[in-house]
Amino acid sequence: MSSIPACPQCAMENTYPDGDNYVCADCGYEWPMVAAAAADDDAGAVVKDANGTVLSDGDAVVLIKDLKVKGSSITLKMGTKVKSIRLVGGDHEVDCKMDAGNFMLKACFLKKV
């Protein structure tokens, strides 16, 4: 299957790249490749906590359940407050520093304070 998108004007899949644009062979419509790539990057930019509140860098959060740390006997306890979080990309969206060390956590186990 091709990674070239269908035409946004006529929805036909007979498209091809031409320089910095995509071109539809059926209707002749041209659109920039950069705009399509930028729309894909912006889709995953919002990180929400367990209650659906939007998180941002520097927020303080609380753990909503006990979390066992893989490869260690450490358990992060429910109710532990974490200050100055940092948002990163990937599966574990939040990077933080606690007394037990540095951890990457999923936002679904956090609640904004």
In order, the DSSP letters of 40-85 are HHHTT--EE-TTSPEE-TT--EEESS-EEPTTSS-EEPTT-EE-S-
Task: Between 36 and 8, name the one with better pLDDT.
Answer: 8
Please give the pLDDT value at position 4. Answer: 82
- The Cα–Cα gap between 98 and 35 comes to 40
Q: Which residue has the tokens 């490749």?
A: 33
Average pLDDT over residues 26-38: 77
Task: Between 20 and 39, name the one with better pLDDT.
Answer: 20
pLDDT tens string 55-78 = 999 999 999 999 999 999 999 999
Report the candidate in 110, 108, 68, 64 with the shortest Cα–Cα distance to residue 85.
110
Say which CATH topology domain 1-43 has. N-terminal domain of TfIIb (2.20.25)
**For the chain, what are the domain ranges?**
1-43, 47-112
47-112 — its CATH code? 2.30.30.40
